[in-house]
Amino acid sequence: MNDPVAHGAPLIIPRNDHTISRAKISPNALKVLYRLKEAGFQGFLVGGAVRDLLLGLTPKDFDVATDALPEDVRHLFRNCRLIGRRFRLAHVHFGQEIIEVATFRAAAAPEREESEEEGEDALADSPPQDSEHRAVNDRGRILRDNMYGTVDEDVWRRDFAANGLYYNIEDFSVWDYVGGVADVRARRMKLIGDPEERYREDPVRMLRAVRFAAKLDFSIEAATEEPIRRLAHLLDGVPAARLFEEALKLFLSGSGAAAYRLLKEYGLFEHLFPATAAAFALEPYAYAEEMLLRGLENTDERIREDKPVTPTFLFAILLWAAVLREMNERQAGSSPDTSVLLDACDAVLKRQQARVSIPRRFGIPMREMLMLQPRFNRRTGAKALAILQHPRFRAAYDFLLLRAQVGAADPELAQWWTHVQTLPHEERLKLVQARPGESVGDSGARADAPRRRRRGGAATPIE
């Protein structure tokens, strides 16, 4: 390694030479750190919180690293639960806030390779599976262990230098083994160690590089960037449930549009949503990519305004192109039918589970939302108004607006539904009775395509 600080002593930045103030640290995280210190343990704030504090941002969560064993931590805090199977972590609960306390680790093993719920409670009272590898002295502290380690071992398992900083509660200094402070200042994501090796160890780091670059507006350093395109396919081997968690972080953290652009640029998106990527590449569905981008921009905006966002809507915009294509292939030659849309949704969802899993609690409402799209075409008769009562109306209507924005639905239709919602019941009834000559039948779903085509191709709008 040619990094001058690598494997040496840390660069210690004293309190007066950095901008991290305790006033910006969660009081609960401070409580945990002070109690560890009082009990004679080391306590460091680590990872994203240190990075964000140096950037002047408000961290979303506070992680603590310590030389105390998970069992020690549990004895120090009444409100503590141990989670995780291979690597046990202590979660200290303060109402809604959880401070995650991790014992220093020596092994460069993939982080979070199991879901947190997996090991919760069930294992809280059983010994860790690797206890045979541990050598402990009679006070229960580690002497030698190939799993737990010291702070200067712990740092090498972290992903990016900017995420590898330690804020020491002892004297409020920042310990930097990996050039992390310089990277934060230069707004740069650089993997610790050999990039290809680190991606092979855990391909999710490719997604993390993109996520932080998008969220923090950081660049990805050349050597860290270089292998991504080449190794993007390694994502195919990552458990779909873990990719679901990562997808939520990528798209629902306020920088979803930027994250999408980077995922696409690095050839990662096609490994997460292969059917969508394939449909975007075909002219008749290319406009659905613009829908996705606009939808992500709206979502980013909502997050900035502290409004709620839902994975249901997210997956609808992520899968729509694939659903349309599937539907068109299924109904070729036959008359349009909403059941084709239903079958297409199911087929796409089913295949998608192999890459990024979509739990039923989001997949089912997503399907309902998409199934409402053809129903918006019906504007005659009292029955047309029933859609307003549907639990998925709001999301489906937002989706209709998005379709109208890219020219895939009639803007007049979208306006009509906007207008209807402003009216009292009596007025609504008058409106749906006053549309003579309009087709009453829910003629169902024909292919969605831009009404005003900008790139040519056959337009067969749903209406």
Tell me if 285 sits within 8 A of 279, measured CB to CB.
yes
CB of 456 to ligand ATP, least distance (A): 42
Q: How far apart are CA 158 and CA 190, in angstroms?
A: 11
**Strand 89-94 to strand 97-103: parallel, antiparallel, or no bridges (unpaired)?**
antiparallel
Residue with tokens 């160690």: 193
* Residue 139 CB, nearest approach to ligand ATP (Å): 28
Smaller CB separation from ligand ATP, 110 or 374: 110
Among 111, 116, 337, 463, binds ligand ATP (CB under 6 A): 111
Classify residue 251 by its DSSP letter.
Answer: H
Shortest separation between residue 156's beta carbon and ligand ATP, angstroms: 10
- Our CB check for Mg ion shows the closer of 48 and 193 to be 48
Minimum distance of ligand ATP from residue 436's CB (angstroms) = 56
- Catalytic positions, please? 61, 63, 159
Using alpha carbons, select from 348, 344, 364 the residue that is nearest to residue 356: 348
Instruction: Tell me if 442 contacts ligand ATP by CB under 6 A.
Output: no
**Rounded distance, CA 411 to CA 404, Å?**
5
With CB cut-offs between 5 and 8 Å by kind, which of ligand ATP, Mg ion, none does residue 202 bind?
ligand ATP
Look at residue 300 and give the partner it binds from Mg ion, ligand ATP, none, a contact being a CB closer than 5 to 8 Å depending on partner kind.
Answer: none
For residue 324, what are the contacts with CB-CB under 8 A and spacing of at least 6?
Answer: 279, 285, 288, 344, 447, 448, 449
Residue numbers 22-61 binding Mg ion by CB under 5 A: 48, 61
Calculate the alpha carbon distances from 318 to 211, 255, 299, 354, 363 in Å. 17, 15, 13, 15, 12
Residue nearest to ligand ATP (CB): 48
* x/- track of binding to Mg ion for residues 59-78 (CB under 5 A): --x-----------------
Select from 254, 261, 349 the least CA-distant residue to 303.
Answer: 254
Report the residue from 47, 256, 284, 295 that binds ligand ATP according to the rule CB under 6 A. 47
Q: Of 268 and 321, which has the nearer Cβ to ligand ATP?
A: 268
Partner interacting with residue 173 (select from ligand ATP, Mg ion, none; CB below 5-8 Å by kind) = none
Task: Provide the minimum distance between the beta carbon of 181 and Mg ion in the complex, in angstroms, as a whole number.
Answer: 18
Q: Which of Mg ion, ligand ATP, none binds 159 (CB below 5-8 Å, type-dependent)?
A: ligand ATP
**Cβ-based nearer residue to ligand ATP, 63 or 448:** 63
Closer CB to ligand ATP, residue 214 or residue 400? 214
Which of ligand ATP, Mg ion, none does 158 bind, CB closer than 5 to 8 A by kind?
ligand ATP
Q: Is 49 helix (H, G, I), strand (E, B) or coil?
A: helix
Please return the burial class of 11, using the count of CB atoms within 10 Å of its CB with bins 0-12, 13-18 and 19+.
middle
Could you tell me the smallest distance in angstroms from the CB atom of residue 111 to ligand ATP? 3
Phi, psi (degrees; rounded to nearest 5) at 144: -140, 140
181-211 CB burial, b ≥16 within 10 A, e <16: bebbeeebbbbbbebeebbebbbbbbbbbbb
Rounded to a whole number of angstroms, the minimum distance from the CB of residue 46 to Mg ion is 9
Rule CB under 6 A: which of 143-162 touch ligand ATP?
158-159
Residues 171-210, one symbol each (x = binds ligand ATP by CB under 6 A, - = not), give: -------------------------------x-xx-----
Q: Is 252 or 327 the residue whose CB approaches ligand ATP more closely?
A: 252
Residues 50-89 close enough to bind ligand ATP by CB under 6 A: 60-61, 63
Could you tell me which of 147, 154, 84 has the C-alpha nearest to residue 117?
84
Q: Is 455 exposed, middle or buried (0-12, 13-18, 19+ CB in 10 A)?
A: exposed
Residue entry with tokens 């190939």? 146
C-alpha 295, offset from chain centre: 15
Residue ranges binding Mg ion (CB under 5 A): 48, 61
Residue ranges binding ligand ATP (CB under 6 A): 47-48, 60-61, 63, 111-112, 158-159, 163-164, 202, 204-205
